[in-house]
Amino acid sequence: MIRRVLQAVGVLLIVTVITFVLLRLIPGNPAIAVMGPQAYRNPAAIAQFDRVYGFDKPWYGQYWLWLSSLLHFHLGYSWKLNQSVQSLLSNHLPKTVFLVGISIVLALLFAIPIGMAQAVRRNKFTDHFFNGFSTIFYAMPAFLLGLLLILIFAIKFPIFPPEGPQGEGVGVLFTDFSALVLPIATLTLITIALFSRYMRSSVLDNLTEDYVRTAKAKGASERRVLLRHVLRNSLIPIATLLGLLLPALFAGALITESVFNYPGMGYLFYQSALNQDYPVLLGITVVVALATVVGSLLADIAYAVLDPRVRYVSQ
């Protein structure tokens, strides 16, 4: 277990190296990028900028500066928005967590019964129907699904607004609920398509296990076997999967947020990419990577707790 935690720390360290290298790869002079081409006339200002941001140090000094500021939760200062990255995040991150969280919960509520139904009625109509459903939504890019939902539910039949809740602060999420419906629907449908496939194969694997035969031999009803034995065991891999699919969900959130102008972290990332606001881009990258690494670590721990057959042996 300690070994696994150390591994996670190592992975995070490599993430900081990768983001640091990316920061160094930026073409041109960062001082010019921030202060504009006029700065060429003022070498003193450039020198000042380089000193303040540590660009005058050798690369290892710069890396150390970047790492130690990360350890103090200083993610940098936006070049375009005149705010620190952490204050931007404190405004945008909760909205993304809200969007992704609700979508995961809703998706699990749908995907678990769908996957089970598919596995139990394998190669019958139900299976093929939901298989087609999940393939279509798996193949459909999030922005296309979002656009179609807007086209149908906001323009043809104006039931919901075509944009996510606007405005600063987290409070707007709770005042403008109808604006949340389409973004959440988009992300949820795509997440269901991801999860139900895994749920199906997980249930199929478990149906052939010996304990199913034992339970049936003892006279347990079909329903009891499915709900008490198979369902529980099939959920274990889904816990791990949640950790693994977190990056895909963040990517889905980025697209969804940019389609609906939903002011979350993905939207901020997208705008920063358009504006070449690198401190924000790399700050968010580190946060997302941290979330993924911690997520998969928790998933592994949950796996060990839920499944008595799995134990981490320290070597």
Count interface residues toward another protein (CB under 8 A): 61
Stretch that binds another protein, among 7-15, 36-44, 45-53, 67-75 (CB under 8 A): 7-15
Residue span 103-142 as binding mask against another protein, x where in contact by CB under 8 A, dash where not: --------------------------------xx-xxxxx
Shortest distance (Å) from residue 42 CB to another protein: 25
Q: Tell me: does residue 89 bind another protein (CB under 8 A).
A: no
Q: Tell me: does residue 18 bind another protein (CB under 8 A).
A: yes
Between CA 159 and CA 168 the distance in angstroms is 24
Residue span 153-182 as binding mask against another protein, x where in contact by CB under 8 A, dash where not: --xx--------------------------
Nearer to another protein, 131 or 172 (CB): 131
DSSP letter at 247 equals H
Strands (E), 138-227: none
Q: Tell me: does residue 15 bind another protein (CB under 8 A).
A: yes
Q: Tell me: does residue 98 bind another protein (CB under 8 A).
A: no
The β-bridge partners of 84 are 77
> Residue 75: exposed, middle, or buried by beta-carbon count in 10 A (0-12, 13-18, 19+)?
buried
CA torsion angle 271 277 280 284 (round to 10)? 60
Residue span 273-292 as binding mask against another protein, x where in contact by CB under 8 A, dash where not: xx-x-x--xx-xx--xx--x
Shortest distance (Å) from residue 108 CB to another protein: 20
Task: Give CA separation, 38 vs 46, 82, 163, 287, 303, in Å.
Answer: 11, 19, 38, 34, 57
Stretch that binds another protein, among 64-72, 105-113, 188-196, 254-262 (CB under 8 A): 254-262
Shortest distance (Å) from residue 241 CB to another protein: 14
DSSP letter at 41 equals G
Nearer to another protein, 22 or 105 (CB): 22
Stretch that binds another protein, among 44-52, 93-101, 166-174, 252-260 (CB under 8 A): 252-260
Shortest distance (Å) from residue 246 CB to another protein: 8
CB atoms within 10 A of CB 214: 12
Angular region, 313: left φ>0, alpha ψ -120 to 50, beta rest: beta
Binding site for another protein (CB under 8 A): 7, 10-12, 14-15, 18, 22, 25-27, 135-136, 138-144, 147-148, 150-151, 155-156, 207-214, 216-219, 222, 247-248, 250-251, 254-255, 258, 269-270, 273-274, 276, 278, 281-282, 284-285, 288-289, 292-293, 296
